[in-house]
Chain A
Amino acid sequence: MIALLLRDLKLAMRAGGGFGLGLSFFLIVTVMVPFAVGPETELLSRIAPGVLWIGALLACLLSLDRILALDWEDGSLDLLATAPLPLEAIVTIKSLAHWITTGLPLVLIAPVLGVLLHLPASAYLWIFVSLLLGTPALSVIGTFGAALTVGLKRGGLLLSLLVLPLYVPTLIFGAEMARRGASGLSIETPMLLLAGISAASVALLPFASAAVLRINLR
């Protein structure tokens, strides 16, 4: 299992692996927002938590089709499916690799991008914590979507259509937590719900993803 994780990380880092694409996309989206809504500090600082969340979510979405499609195309998935690893473990590792290469960098960079949007000082910690809690769910749900569309040519748009509705609860609780944190309200409820969604997704969705992958492989 470690071998698969290390290989995926190595592949992401090497040329053409796409590491950093998600981060750059996040940066660009954040930069575009003030161009669209105007540079007033007050407005930007009010919408900053939401913008950071939607930016991270889209950056995550952008890289989903790489989770399984490459292994599908070169036949690795067939071979992995006949290896001693259960498919449930394979999809979990794939989600984890996606989170390490995409989710985690987004979490780390978000407070920095917050500066560009005049994120209130009280919110830095909470945007970081909410993304840290929420991005694992984004990766695992995304892997489920990637498994559904893995056999399809040009499945990218369909992948977004399938995954975005599934992202709704995570986005609502995550952004709500960051917003409440920014305005000094109690964040306990959204934080618990966000953590609950993440934990439940990580625990249960790999079974659905593996079942879907098994169907797609046959």
Chain B
Amino acid sequence: MSIWEYANPKKFLSTSEKVMPALWVLSIALTVGGLIWGFFLTPDDYRQGSTVKIIFIHVPAALMAINAWFMMLVASLIWVIRRHHVSALAAKAAAPVGVVMTLIALVTGALWGQPMWGTWWAWDPRLTSFLVLFLFYLGYIALWEAIEDPDTAADLTAILCLVGSVFAVLSRYAVLFWNQGLHQGASVMRAGAVAGDTEERVSNVFATPLFVCMGGFALLFLVLVLYRTGTEIRARRIKALLARERLEAEA
């Protein structure tokens, strides 16, 4: 029993359809539960007030924005090396989810930045990196849309994803070098976050619901990608059948 069995579209569809209902329920329960807990059952921060609660959307979205790209990178590599169509289609399916996550992270960041930093937008390295990531997503999606032949599109977007990843990392360092910025460091995973004794860190009142939200977003991403991959497989199948019908009509 090999994991590559699921690279068969039929097997993938039947399996993913079996697990998806449970995943939908679980992901929505976690996300909604985490958000309610975070929004209504935690105290206001003594300095940031209720604004701090945007963290329950902002951080999970930002996390998934990066992980979605990472997943596309892995899927592209699998396509390039093993030529499993499902893998290429999964990368295609993940891109719009990733771009929405990036957009959510950017917009919530701006909403948070306004009361905290007094400005909607700052050319802070983190914000800027996300903006650049957003542009990479747009280019990737546009390339998929522009090419008619599905295998050519899969090949070209896979190579763009690989090259783009290198340049995205380079951009991240370039941006850090370019401007030091206002954004606090990534503090969620630090050990001190649990202690919650300084304002720099995410205090533990917020930590648990935040982890719940992150889990919810991750599952939501997973189920959305599974769902969209299924759609892409069917669309690809329809295209193939139509092409074959034309071929038979010619004969």
- B135-156 vs A, CB cutoff 8 Å, 1 = contact: the mask equals 1101100110011000010011
Q: Which of B149-175 contact A (CB under 8 A)?
A: 152, 155-156, 159-160, 162-164, 167-168, 170-171, 173-175
Asked whether A152 lies within 8 Å of B147 as measured between CB atoms, the reply is yes
Interface centre among A149, A161, A172, A189 (most CB of B within 10 A): A172
Please name the residue on chain B nearest to A160 by beta carbon.
B139
Q: Are A215 and B174 in touch, CB under 8 angstroms?
A: no
Q: Which residues of A contact B152 (CB under 8 A)?
A: 151, 215-216, 218
**Residues of B within 8 Å of A, CB-based: how many?**
26
A125 to B105, CA, bound (A): 41
Contact partners of A211 in chain B: CB under 8 A:
159
Are A197 and B170 closer than 8 Å at their CB atoms? yes
Given the known A-B contacts A161-B138, A197-B170, are A168 and B132 also in contact in the complex, defined by CB atoms under 8 Å?
Answer: yes
The verdict on B177 contacting chain A, using a C-beta distance below 8 Å, is yes
Given A205-B163, A211-B159, A216-B152; A161-B142 close (CB under 8 Å): yes
Q: Which residue of B147, B156, B167 is within 8 Å of A165 (Cβ)? A: B167
Contact check, B142 vs A158: say whether CB atoms are below 8 A apart. Answer: yes
A151 to B162, CA, bound (A): 20
Complex Cα spacing A62 to B249, Å: 44
Is the CB of A202 closer than 8 A to any CB of chain B?
no
On chain B, the residues within 8 Å of A189 by CB distance are: 177
Would A165 and B132 be within 8 Å (CB), given that A152-B147, A216-B152 are in contact?
A: yes
Residues in B neighbouring A152, C-beta threshold 8 A: 146-147
A172, B177: Cβ atoms closer than 8 Å = yes
Residue ID in chain A nearest B129 by CB atoms: A168
**Which range holds the interface residue count of chain A?**
20 to 34
Residues 166-187 (chain A) with a chain B CB within 8 angstroms = 166, 168-169, 172-173, 176
* CB pair A148 B143 closer than 8 Å: yes
Any B CB within 8 A of the CB of A129: no
Which residues of B have CB within 8 Å of A158? 142-143, 146
User: How far is B173's CA from A96's CA once the two chains are assembled, in angstroms?
Assistant: 28
Q: Does A99 contact B (CB under 8 A)?
A: no
Partner pick for B171 among A169, A190, A212, CB 8 A cutoff = A169
Asked whether any CB of chain B lies closer than 8 Å to the CB of A164, the reply is: yes
Q: Are A165 and B171 in contact (CB under 8 A)?
A: yes
Given A165-B164, A212-B159: A173 in contact with B174 (beta carbons within 8 A): yes
Q: A162-B142, A165-B139 are in contact. List 17 more A-B contacts (CB 8 A).
A: A148-B156, A149-B146, A152-B147, A158-B142, A158-B143, A161-B142, A165-B164, A165-B168, A168-B132, A168-B171, A169-B167, A172-B178, A173-B174, A176-B177, A208-B159, A208-B163, A211-B159
Chain A residues at the B interface, C-beta cutoff of 8 Å: 144, 148-149, 151-152, 155, 158, 161-162, 164-166, 168-169, 172-173, 176, 189-190, 193, 197, 205, 208, 211-212, 215-216, 218
The 14 sampled A-B contact pairs (Cβ below 8 Å) are: A148-B159, A148-B160, A152-B146, A161-B138, A162-B143, A162-B160, A164-B135, A165-B167, A168-B170, A172-B175, A172-B178, A193-B177, A205-B163, A212-B156
Binding site for A on B (CB under 8 A): 132, 135-136, 138-139, 142-143, 146-147, 152, 155-156, 159-160, 162-164, 167-168, 170-171, 173-175, 177-178
